[in-house]
Structure 1
Amino acid sequence: MASAPEPSAPTLQAFDRERTAAALPFAALAQAIEAAAADLQAGRIASPERTVLPLGAGGALLSMPATSHDLGIHKLVTVQPGNAARQWPTIHGIVAVCDAASGRPLCLLDGPEVTGRRTAAVSMVALRRLLGRAPRQVLLIGTGVQARHHVGAIHALFPDCPVLVRGRSDAAARAFCAQASATGHVQLCPPDIPDTVDAVVTLTTATEPVYDLPARADRAVVGVGAFKPDMAEIGRATLAGSLLYADDPAGARHEAGDLIRAGVDWNSVRSLASLLAEAPDRSRPLVFKSVGTAAWDLAAARVAVRALGLGT
């Protein structure tokens, strides 16, 4: 007697940048990030340090897995600086999502879109907690992809908050503002940062600080762009005397070049989970450093699985 045929596996769906973005609204992402921060702190998410391997001429392959009771994800990102000369994107990637109980693959998400949106959501969560309210005016330093995601996050979560922009040049900043202003109030920052700016977010790959003003208790600072030891966006004048937080303090020890260069006391750098669990001392200057962790990609995958109707 012939055995019954094995049931065919469902087709693995791959979602492009547009579909991935639509599945990751910022309000839901922010909530998922908060939940994942608590899970990571409690050990309910396993998220090891990323692995980096050489790829091609001067490129790199980055491997970032994470698992929890519900999902497993594996983000693979390629970085190829030589693509700029070809007018191709420098970064490509995918996020593979699987069901934890069965191991069944659920979908593939666009890696750069997941990274950009979940990183901006982390910044918004941090800003709201650092300030204890919505920001009144945000300065973004940088005009790249992350700046674009942050403008989208600000307008989604803090729709009444105007955004000022600084770039490598006024021309770059003006071009960015012209494009971004279609989604809200975005304009070039004047030479002197207005006192009304109560939040600064740095979004560059600078090797020298782009923000180094004396720390002040009425202005929260979030550093996003510097993710290697030889990069630095925030200077010593800002870091000195500030209470320091990081989304992943363990990873920041190896990747947060601005904190490494300033010689901070790592025992005093607190996690995002601790920032969410206990209100900071807002009488002191506050700085939040974001270096990223696959736990945030897992949080994004939770949102996408629900939005795309891929429940397990």
Structure 2
Amino acid sequence: MTAFTPRTLSPQQTADALPYAALTREIERLLQDPSVHVPARLVQPLQGGGSLFVMPAADARVAMTKLITFIAQNAQQGLPTIQGDIVVFDVATGQRVALMDGPTVTARRTAAVSLLAAQKLAPRKEGPLLIVGAGVQGLSHLEAFHEGLGVKEVWIASRSAASADALVGHAERLGMKARRVDDPNAALAECPLVITTTPAQQVVMTARPRDDAFVSAVGAFTPRMVEWSADVCQHVASTGMLVVDTRDADHEAGDFLQAGLDVAAWPTLSDVVCQTPMWQAAAQRHAARTGPVFFKSCGWGGWDLAAARCVAAHKPS
């Protein structure tokens, strides 16, 4: 019997196996796959304020476990805030198929989820796009929305002018029109597409988005984290529509929970994709309103399983 050699993918090889268009399609397919099983993730607090995340998931063909750490203060030391790996297994044989770079998967699948939500929900998809936070997630969302929505203009806001300028330069090399803005709240009036990818250690966004805006709030993924003020979240809940990535957001969506909102009353991305009665009722309510669409992304092992499915099907060149 020939020995099976699993693939160990570098960050670049992981990215190459996860083009945004293919990954977004795989995420949509996964949300319609009844064989997918994703138990609640384990979050182990670490001394000093960090966290260890253990996130397993499986379907009829592929199983995976994600092991990553999140250390928010690493950004101040020039270190990655997210580190770790994803192990992919073949369900039929139990063989390890691949070892993927965890931060690369996290960045790309999170941006692909935002992209899918924008494709389904954004009233105006042409932009300009405002990205608040010029780190890894800012970069991945810039690329995903450029490739997947055809966005041609982006505005970048960051606490670090150097980081914002670097992302502006990257956008320009992609052929986009790009600019740095120092006040993201003032920029909301000009941008119908908004992505917030801040460290979410404090409220950054206090102004209200445009009535025709689509917002994807990515930074806060625990009950204690927050990017958007309670006033803005309450305003959107009363005038627009809230959508969460999964039902795990019911106890993880810090922006909404700290605003006192009943997160369980709002549909998930799966509801949107599968056109469930909950989504249809929410869409009908929203049709009578004038406010923006606010998508809250908290993360889920299923998104990593979608990436694992892409990698399992990807044939290296």
TM-score tier by shorter-chain length is 0.7 to 0.9
1:82 CA displacement = 7.1
CA distance in 1, matches of 2:111, 2:51: 23
- The alignment partner of 2:99 has SS state of strand
CA contact (8 A) 1:59 1:80 kept: yes
- Residue number in structure 1 paired with 2:27: 33
TM-score, length of structure 1 as denominator length: 0.87
What's the Cα RMSD here? Answer: 2.5
Matches of 1:200 and 1:59, distance apart in 2: 28
Unaligned 5+ segments in structure 2 are none
Matches within 5 A, 1:40-119: 42=34, 44-54=35-45, 59-80=50-71, 87-119=78-110
1:273 aligns with 2:265: no
2:175 to 184, 208, 224: 184
The equivalences for 1:1-312 within 5 A come to 7-39=1-33, 42=34, 44-54=35-45, 59-80=50-71, 87-131=78-122, 134-185=125-176, 186-189=178-181, 191=183, 192-193=186-187, 195-239=189-233, 240=235, 241=238, 242-249=240-247, 251-278=248-275, 280=283, 281=286, 283-308=290-315
Q: Give the drift of 1:247.
A: 0.7
CA gap of 1:83–1:254, structure 2 versus 1, over 3 A, is same
* Alpha-carbon distance, 1:257 to partner: 1.0
Q: TM-score, normalised by structure 2?
A: 0.86
Q: Distance in 2 between matches of 1:69 and 1:83?
A: 38
- The aligned residue for residue 4 of structure 1 is none
Is the contact between residue 62 and residue 90 of structure 2 (CA under 8 Å) also seen in structure 1? yes
Q: 1:133 to 1:218 in 2, by over 3 A?
A: closer
Query: Structure 1 residues 286 and 183, CA, compared in 2 at 3 Å: closer, same or farther?
Result: same
Q: Does the 8 A contact of 1:244 with 1:268 survive in 2?
A: no
CA deviation vs aligned residue, 1:56-109 (integer Å, no higher than 9, x gap): 765432110001111101111123567567744342211111111222211111
Question: What 5-or-longer segments of structure 1 have no aligned partner?
Answer: 1-6
Whichever residue aligns with residue 20 of structure 1, its letter is: T
Higher mean alpha-carbon deviation, 10-19 vs 46-55, is at 46-55
Indicate conservation of the 8 Å contact 2:125/2:151, yes or no: no
Q: Aligned in 2, Cα 1:86/1:261: closer, same or farther, shift over 3 Å?
A: closer
Q: Verify the 8 A CA contact 1:226 1:257 in the aligned structure 2.
A: yes
Q: For residues 134 and 85 of structure 1, what CA distance do their matches in structure 2 show?
A: 34
Q: Distance in 2 between matches of 1:118 and 1:73?
A: 15
Residue 118 of structure 1: SS of its match in structure 2?
A: helix
Q: How many residues align?
A: 300
> Contact conserved, 1:73 with 1:96, CA < 8 A, in 2?
yes
How many angstroms apart in 2 are the aligned matches of 1:86 and 1:208? 19
